[in-house]
Structures are given as C-alpha cells and as structure tokens.
C-alpha cells in the first residue's frame, strides 16, 4: 500500500484566480474559504479572484492567499477520502502543513500567517537585499560560492530545493557578486524578482517580533509526521515549535533533505496541494521513480484521484 505525503507550496506560487473553480464547484471548499476570509478580515475573494498581480504579489496579501487556497485544495482532496500521514511545506507552505495536521487550528494558523506576512513585508527596506537561484552547482561548490560572496556583504543559502538548484539570499551587493562567482564555477545564477532577502539573517529582528506575536497561540499534538524546514525532521510533540518557527523565518529551507527523509520512511507518493507545480518538479529531480501528483483545480483533482485509484 502506498505511503502518501502532502506538500504545500510557498510564496511565489500565487496566480490570479487560483482555486476559483474549487470555490465555485465544491460547497465545502466555498464554506472553508468564506470562513477563512472572515478570520483574516481581508477581502480575499477580491484579492485572489478579481485582483491584480501587483496586489496579489505583495507579501502581506500572498502569504494568506496561498495558505487559504492550499487548504481549500486539501479540503477537496480529503472529501475524496485521501489523507496523508506525512506532510511538509516549502517555507510559507509549512504553515499549511501545520494547519492540516492540527498542530495549529485553522483560526490560529490563519491569524499567525497574517501576522507573519505583515512583519515580513516591512522588515527589510526595499533595495537592501535580494535573492537569486543558482543552478548546476553541488553543495560543495555552493559553499565556495557563499564564502567568496560573503566578502561583499551578508549572504546565505535560503533554499536547498533539489540537486543542482539552490536559492541564495542576502544583501544586494553580495547577491550580484555571487552571480559572477557562480559563472566562474560553471554554474548559472539568476536574480529573482522578490520583495526581500527571505530566509537570511537580515530577518533576525523580524523573527523575534514574530515570536512575540505568536507566544500565546495554542500548539496541539498530532499523530502525523510534519517535517520542519529548519531541521528536515518531523516535529516531536515536546519540541518548542514556536521557537522553531521563529528560526524558520531566517534559516535555510531544507526541502531536498526533507523529501529524502520521507523517501527513507517509505513514502512513494507525493501530492502537491495548492497553486502551481514547482514542488512536483523538485521531487522529480530528487527521484524520478516516485508517484507525483498535484491538486490545484477541478481538473487536477480529478486526474489525481483517478491516478491514485489505478495505483
């Protein structure tokens, strides 16, 4: 019998009208979305279904938008009887995973995301920092790259996505220099269009502000294995989850390591839940033999259900 893992996407996966046909065709999804909109006290239908890319891309909007849309897609899948014992998310997606598992309630999870988005949106002045994707370099050469670029400013690895693809983050001078260094190491470097140097020590102050905001939220026990971005290991019920979430804002996202840990546990089926197929692409590059699906709309929901039934 297949072991299933759910994967939830992070910031950057958003697009206008994401999840709209789930909202229109599945009453339970519509109910969940409307409930979330009230909890967030934000015009989510207007932002997601009728807004502009410019508005949706703003951190304060896209973090709650992606989480709410992902949870709507997960609801659609659960209504078909498909659940997962293993669950993870990329950066922001970790909060969708925590809500799905019950570690955070739906209400507390959405309120937490709204606070996180607000703090991150204003934490670093625009133009101070940035991010870049680095391709075709192994981890040994990534370390060389970061060490050399750090002479020009703060710079760190933000994401270990899959073999041959990492994201670096830090001060803009160091990022620009890193792209030249990557080329000299026979890699490819592309500066990303993002609003801040996420998952770097430039967010340390913001991480403590966030911790102060979440110190009173309730953390619940779960029987699911929810993997932490910071450690690439499942949370334990006695972990200081709030402190780990504080660190997550400024630490590397160990996505590749997480997938490899799940594979060691016997997981052979991965379902990306929410907008886009970015995580599915990463998983394929880690292991092409796995069963990989995604659910973001009615068509992909039907295709995933049919494929799982066949297997």
Indicate the fold that domain 129-194 takes in CATH: Alpha-Beta Plaits (3.30.70)
Active site residue 199: yes
Q: Do domains 4-123+202-310 and 129-194 have the same CATH topology?
A: no
Name the region of 167 (left: φ>0; alpha: ψ -120 to 50; beta: rest): beta
Q: Which CATH superfamily is domain 4-123+202-310 in?
A: Malonyl-Coenzyme A Acyl Carrier Protein, domain 2 (3.40.366.10)
Catalytic pick from 199, 200, 252, 280?
A: 199
How far apart are the C-alpha atoms of 211 and 216, rounded to whole Å? 9
pLDDT in tens, 199-242: 999 999 999 999 999 999 999 999 999 999 999 999 998 899 99
DSSP assignment of 50-68 equals: SS-HHHHHSHHHHHHHHHH
CB atoms within 10 A of CB 39: 18
Over range 74-83, report the average pLDDT.
97
The whole-model pTM stands at 0.96
Q: Are 195 and 233 in contact (CB under 8 A)?
A: no
pLDDT at 73 over 80: yes
Catalytic pick from 70, 91, 96, 280?
A: 91
- What are the sequence ranges of the domains in the chain? 4-123+202-310, 129-194
């Amino acid at each position: 019998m297949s072991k299933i893992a759910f994967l939830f996407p992070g910031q950057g996966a958003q697009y206008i009208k994401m999840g709209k046909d789930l909202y229109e065709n599945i009453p339970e999804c519509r109910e969940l979305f409307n409930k979330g909109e009230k909890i967030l006290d934000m015009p989510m239908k207007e932002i997601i279904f009728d807004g502009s890319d410019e508005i949706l891309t703003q951190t304060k909007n896209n973090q709650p938008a992606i989480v709410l849309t992902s949870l709507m897609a997960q609801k659609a899948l659960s209504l078909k009887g498909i659940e997962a014992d293993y669950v993870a998310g990329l950066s922001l997606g970790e909060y969708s995973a925590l809500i799905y598992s019950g570690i955070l309630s739906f209400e507390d999870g959405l309120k937490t995301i709204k606070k996180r988005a607000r703090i991150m949106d204003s934490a670093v002045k625009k133009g101070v920092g940035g991010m870049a994707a680095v391709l075709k370099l192994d981890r040994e050469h990534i370390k060389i790259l970061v060490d050399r670029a750090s002479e020009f400013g703060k710079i760190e690895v933000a994401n270990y996505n899959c073999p041959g693809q990492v994201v670096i983050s830090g001060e803009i001078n160091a990022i620009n220099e890193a792209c030249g260094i990557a080329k000299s190491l026979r890699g490819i470097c592309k500066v990303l269009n993002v609003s801040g140097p996420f998952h770097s020590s430039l967010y340390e102050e913001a991480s403590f502000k966030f911790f102060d905001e979440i110190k009173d939220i309730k953390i619940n026990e779960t029987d699911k294995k929810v993997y932490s971005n910071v450690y690439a290991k499942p949370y334990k019920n006695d972990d200081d989850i709030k402190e780990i979430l504080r660190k997550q804002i400024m630490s590397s996202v160990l996505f590749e390591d997480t997938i490899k840990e799940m594979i060691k546990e016997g997981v052979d089926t991965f379902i990306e839940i929410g907008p886009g197929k970015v995580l599915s692409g990463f998983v394929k590059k880690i292991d092409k033999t796995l069963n990989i699906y995604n659910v973001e709309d009615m068509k992909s929901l039907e295709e995933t259900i049919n494929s799982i039934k066949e297997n």
